[in-house]
Structure formats: structure tokens, C-alpha cells
Structure 1
Amino acid sequence: MSQHSPIREDKTCLNCRHVVERRYCPNCGQENTDSRKTFHHLFVHFFEDLTHYENSFWKTIRHLLFKPGRLTQEYLSGKRMSYLAPVRLYIFISFVTFFLISVLPGGEEEHDSDDKKEEKELVKTAPSDGKIVKLNKDGKEIYALAKDSVMAELAEDTLAQKQVEELEKGVRSRGIGKYENEREYDSIQATMLPTQRSTGIKKWLERTMARVNGKTDDEDFDKKFVEAFIHNVPKALFLYMPIFAFWLWVFHGKRRWYYFDHGIFTLHYFSFMLLTLSMMLTWNMLAEMVDFSAITILTAFLWFFLFCWWFFYFFRSHSRFYGESKAVSRLKSLMLYFINMWLITFFTMGLLIYTILYLH
């Protein structure tokens, strides 16, 4: 874009008032062109400034995807003009990831066809008199009426009673944990002996899960929970980055490596994770447009492949960047990967629960 912008006739720099002999100010580096631009110029300038769109952007993406650890090596060796700056790279990929997540389908449409509604209904038949007990996913009242009518006539029939209990268990199993809400949790705890009641962390976890269930719609809970989990992954990665770099600092020599070096490695690895996650989300959106079982199987395989790729990429980039022996590098990589992935998962779950409880 700059090469097509005419140079100002006035040779005084608008930023520092220094005399500009050519296109760029020798004192501050600002380009001596007209500061008033059209919307087209502003849009192109934003894109180029964010990505250095010429050769450096695609070169950076290519190294990031297919040459683990090389990008960090090149950047820290001083070759910084040839690649996109780590912070700018992460910001751009984060922007793309959040945009894709924002346009993800929010689940099934609210107004399903009659055929789909019929498929969602759960049908049970009481064996003794052939009565039909119907229950759709949000039809607890239908279930209650059916339970009353069937159980009134078949109270002595243990088989029918067992079926009703299993049906009730199916309804109550939606969500996380075994309690539908805090009221149910408190009432059950009150009926227990003091020695049988949950205490400490267990009590906090059970009560928290009960609160989550109480604030979340039962219908398609699992699907919504997974979608919310994916939506919180980029946020968790951003917040967890300093901790990830800290663990790298703990496991490596303090004289040879600075925290800054680990920070650059972390930015590149997290950028890789977000970029591949964006690619997978794009595939997911396309796959949902095609109702074909083979596509569903392929999507599941691609998710599995993605997690394996993340695992292999970390091993390879860690070994290449830190230059340790294979045995030492593999041991450290294994320990670092599982420590951090466990903490990132815990971090994401905590962020997800916070979102449901306080922002739902």
C-alpha cells in the first residue's frame, strides 16, 4: 500500500518535524505521505500492518505449521524482519479464532420438524397392560403424569417400577454430577448422617456442579457443554501463557535461557494450537452442512489427529529449540506436556464454570 501513496511535497516530518529527504524520516522512521486516507487505504493498511502481508506472513505460517521450533530459533537468533513478531502473530490468530467461534452454529434449530420431534421423544411401554409412557427431552411434566398413572395401577409390579426408576435416572443424569440443583443437593445432604455428609473440597465441587446444573437447560446439555468448553479454550490459553512459560523456566537452565526466551517459545506454540484449532473449527462448520455418516466419522478422526499433532509438535519443537540430548529432552517434554495440559484443562473447566455461574 505504501508504494502507491504519493509523497508529500512538504519535506517536514509530521511526527518529529525533522527534514525528510526521501520517503521515510531518518529520525523517527515515519513515512512522509498524506495522513488523510480513503476507507480502502485504511482497510488495506490495517490488514498489512497486522500481518505484514507480503512474504513474511506466509513464511511465518509455513514455519509455524510444519517446522516445530524453527520459528522460535530464527526469531531469537536475530532474524526478526523475515517473520511476523510473536505477539502480533498471536493477536492475529486469536482474532481469527474468536471470529470463527462467534459464527459457530449454536446447536440445533429451535423449530425442528415434526419428524425430528418424534425422534427426540423417548417411548416406554409398561409390560402388563401395554400402556404407552412418553417423555421428550424437556417433558418432565409428561413424565410425572405418566409415572402417577402407571404406578397407581402397577404399584406391585416390580418390573414396571424398575422401568420407571430407570426412566427417572435417565432424566436426572443430564448435566454434570448427580444433583439437578442446589436445593436438591441441600435436601439430600440434610437427610444424611453427619458422618456421611460431604465436606471440604468434595462438598464445594458437588455444590458447584449442582449450581451449574440448575443454571443450565437440560436439553442437549452435553452438546452445549462441549461447545462452551471449546469457546473457553482460547481464553484459557491466553490467561495460562505466563504459567506455561514459567514451567519451561523451571525445567531449564537459568544461565542459558531467560524467561523472555521461554515466553517466545510459548507464544509460538500457543499460536500453533490456536491456528490448528481454527482450521478444525472451519472443518466442523463445513461438516455440519453435510448430513453424511462418513463425514461424522472423519471429523472424529480429525479431532483425535489434532490432539496427537499437538502432542508430537510440542515434543519436536522442544527438542529442536532447547538442543538437549534425546533422552533428557523426551523426559522433560513428557513431564511438561502432561503437567501443562492437565493444568490448562483444569483452567478451562474453571473458566467455564465461572462463565455459567456468573455470566449465564
Structure 2
Amino acid sequence: MAKKRRKFVQCPNCGYTFEEVNNYCPNCGQENHDLNVPVKHLVEEFFESTLHYDTKFWLTFKYLLTRPGYLTEKFNLGKRVSYVPPFRLYVFVSIFFFTAVALFASDGLVISDAQSAKNQLETTNPEAVAQILQADSLARVKAGLPANDTSSFIAGDTSSVIINEEVDNKFRNFLKNEEQSRQKLLKNISFMMFVLMPFFGFILYLFYRSQRRNYVEHLMFSVHFHTFVFLLIMFAILVEVIFSNIDTNGWVFLISMVYLFFALRYVYKESYLRTAVKLIPIGLTYLISLAILFIATVGISVLFS
């Protein structure tokens, strides 16, 4: 919908004489639109532009949810004005996503991941060290060496025990300051996902390099896919909040893979069989990368807590 403009003859900012086609001043960039009008006109313009944006907004969400790959295809073809730009859409959805996680799903996130790591580190307590020393002595007796000679053990393993104890203390502090730790972890995870998006685009670039597409096309695919996954996880969180006995993790994974399959098929125009064959290594590479980045994110969150 074209904006109805009340144009000036001359730019009120710099005095440039407008031509009829000038919607903005070529000299200073100010919009050629007179806002010095009755409030009624401004209100009408506000609702007109808002309703127009709402139409674009809901149309974008409609195609994102119901037609995998459609928005990416339209963006790559240059048909962009009718839809919300990919990164703006991602930022908008991610704000609601991480808010939902912080409100309803972050407790388990902090406790389960940090607690499991903490349990592993508890093997560095004094009793465990004593057991290690005893085993070392027995091994020395079998080898014909003095049982009480632990110099090599001390040289080789004491430093690692000290480091483990230090890491253990970090985990304990991380669990102790639960609210602060949760916020830090969520912040780092949001950054992790922002890093993962272009990386997934690079994975697609490698698998579809024979099509000689620009990397930006693969990146837009990644942005739209992650936006859909965020919406799906938010819906899953809502379901689990309402029905506490339902576990949605398996369904989230399954729906994400089905969506990815049809999106790849729509955008890259390969056969169903070829798309299915490529989906397996693409999915595995993505999941391994996600796991590595997530573990690294948790570790960084703990070590710098």
C-alpha cells in the first residue's frame, strides 16, 4: 500500500526544490511529507500504516508456519516488500522465546545441566584422591617399585586434582547463585544461537555448493528455520505448562526435522529421495554442532560465574 504524502515544494530543512517524484530530499535525506496537519489526519495515517504492517506481519507468520521454505524462496527471488525481513522477524520471535524460557523452562535448564557436571566433578573429593593413591601404590608393588614412592603421581596428577577442585568450586557457586546463573546462561545461549545460525547456513552452503548459490541465500534459510524452531519450542513450553505430564521433546525434534525436509525440498528443488539422503548428514552435523556449542556455553557460563 503506497503512502499518501502531502508533499512540499521546497525542503523545509535545506531549501532544495523538489521534483514530483522526490519522496525524500536528495540533498539532506529528510522525508518529503508535511506533518503539520490536524491530529485527525495523523491518527488516520497511524492506523493505516499499523494495519498495513499487521497484514504483513500475519502474512509472514502464516507462510512461516504453513509453507516451509516459502519465505526463503521469496526473499531469494527479491520479492520482499510483502513480508517482514528475516532478521527483524528472528529478533522479534527470539525476544518472546527467551522470555518464555526464562519464565517457564529455565529452572530445569540450569539445575540439570550444571548438576550433572557437578556430580562428575565430585570424584575429586579427598576420599577419591585416597583411592587413587592406593591404586597407584598397588600398581607400583606389582611393578617391583617402592609402594610409597608417589613422586611421579604427585608430579603428574596433583595439578589436575587442584584444577578439578577449582572447577568443582565454580560449579558449586554457579548452582548456589541460581537466579544470577540462570540469567547468565540464557544470555549466553541466546548468543550461541546467534552464532549457530550463520554456521548452519555454512553447512547448507557446503552441501549445496553445486548449485552455486550465494551464502546469503543459505543464511536466510537458516534464519527462517531457526525462527520456526523458536516458535515451535514456545508452543511446546505452553503445552507442558498446561499439561505437566506431557513431554514434548520428541515431538519438537520430529516436527523440526519434517519441517526442515520440506523446506530443503522447496528451496533447493531437489527430488524427495535426494533431499532425504542429504537431510541425514545435514541433521547430524547440525545436532553435533549444537551439542558442542551448548556444552561450551554451559562451561563458559560456569567458569565465568
The verdict on a shared fold, with TM-score over 0.5 as the criterion, is yes
Q: Name the residue aligned to 1:30.
A: 31
Change (3 A) 1:9 1:53: same
Q: Name the residue aligned to 1:80.
A: 80
Q: Name the residue aligned to 1:336.
A: 282
1:296 maps onto 2:244 in alignment: yes
Q: C-alpha distance in 2, partners of 1:198/1:320? A: 57
TM-score for both structures, normalised by structure 1: 0.59
Change (3 A) 1:26 1:238: same
Larger CA deviation: 250-259 vs 337-346:
250-259
Q: Once the 2 structures are TM-superposed, how far is the Cα of residue 263 of structure 1 from its aligned partner?
A: 0.9
Q: Please tell me whether the aligned partners of residues 174 and 181 of structure 2 are also in contact (alpha carbons under 8 angstroms).
A: no
| Residue type at the aligned position of 1:352 | V
Q: Please tell me whether the aligned partners of residues 68 and 263 of structure 2 are also in contact (alpha carbons under 8 angstroms).
A: yes
Change (3 A) 1:305 1:186: same
Q: C-alpha distance in 2, partners of 1:238/1:185? A: 43
Q: Once the 2 structures are TM-superposed, how far is the Cα of residue 188 of structure 1 from its aligned partner?
A: 5.6
| Residue type at the aligned position of 1:332 | K
Instruction: Select the residue among 157, 173, 187 that pairs with 1:215.
Output: 173
| Residue type at the aligned position of 1:336 | I
Give the share of equivalent positions with the same residue, in percent.
Answer: 18
Which 4+ residue blocks in structure 1 deviate beyond 6 angstroms? 202-209, 224-231
Q: C-alpha distance in 2, partners of 1:11/1:181? A: 78
Q: Name the residue aligned to 1:356.
A: 302
Q: Name the residue aligned to 1:93.
A: 93
How many residues of Structure 1 are paired with residues of Structure 2 in the alignment?
273
Matches within 5 A, 1:143-292: 176-180=118-122, 187=129, 191=133, 193=136, 210-217=168-175, 233-254=189-210, 256-284=212-240, 286-287=241-242
Q: Please tell me whether the aligned partners of residues 20 and 26 of structure 1 are also in contact (alpha carbons under 8 angstroms).
A: no
Q: C-alpha distance in 1, partners of 2:215/2:106? A: 40
Q: Please tell me whether the aligned partners of residues 229 and 348 of structure 1 are also in contact (alpha carbons under 8 angstroms).
A: no
Per residue, is there more helix in 1 or in 2?
2
What do the CA deviations read for 1:300-331 (whole angstroms, capped 9, x no partner)? 1x332112111111111112111112222111
Q: C-alpha distance in 2, partners of 1:29/1:270? A: 37
Q: C-alpha distance in 1, partners of 2:162/2:86? A: 40
Q: Please tell me whether the aligned partners of residues 9 and 17 of structure 2 are also in contact (alpha carbons under 8 angstroms).
A: no
| Residue type at the aligned position of 2:237 | L
Q: Once the 2 structures are TM-superposed, how far is the Cα of residue 268 of structure 1 from its aligned partner?
A: 0.8
Matches within 5 A, 1:5-154: 7=6, 11-12=10-11, 14=13, 17=16, 19=18, 21=20, 24-25=23-24, 27=26, 30=31, 32-34=33-35, 53-104=53-104, 107=107
Q: C-alpha distance in 1, partners of 2:31/2:86? A: 23
Q: Once the 2 structures are TM-superposed, how far is the Cα of residue 256 of structure 1 from its aligned partner?
A: 2.6
**What is the aligned-residue RMSD (CA, Å)?**
4.7
Q: C-alpha distance in 2, partners of 1:66/1:333? A: 20
Q: C-alpha distance in 1, partners of 2:15/2:255? A: 49
| Residue type at the aligned position of 1:19 | F
Q: C-alpha distance in 1, partners of 2:15/2:75? A: 30
What do the CA deviations read for 1:315-349 (whole angstroms, capped 9, x no partner)? 11112111112222111111011111121122012
What do the CA deviations read for 1:69-119 (whole angstroms, capped 9, x no partner)? 1111111112111111111111211222233334447759xxxxxxxxxxx
Q: Name the residue aligned to 1:318.
A: 264
Q: C-alpha distance in 1, partners of 2:282/2:121? A: 36
SS of equivalent to 1:297? coil
Q: C-alpha distance in 1, partners of 2:102/2:293? A: 21
Q: Please tell me whether the aligned partners of residues 7 and 32 of structure 2 are also in contact (alpha carbons under 8 angstroms).
A: no
Higher relative contact order (CA 8 A, sep 6+): 2
Gapped runs of 5+ residues in structure 1? 109-172, 288-294
Q: Name the residue aligned to 1:307.
A: 253
| Residue type at the aligned position of 2:63 | H
Q: Please tell me whether the aligned partners of residues 13 and 32 of structure 1 are also in contact (alpha carbons under 8 angstroms).
A: no
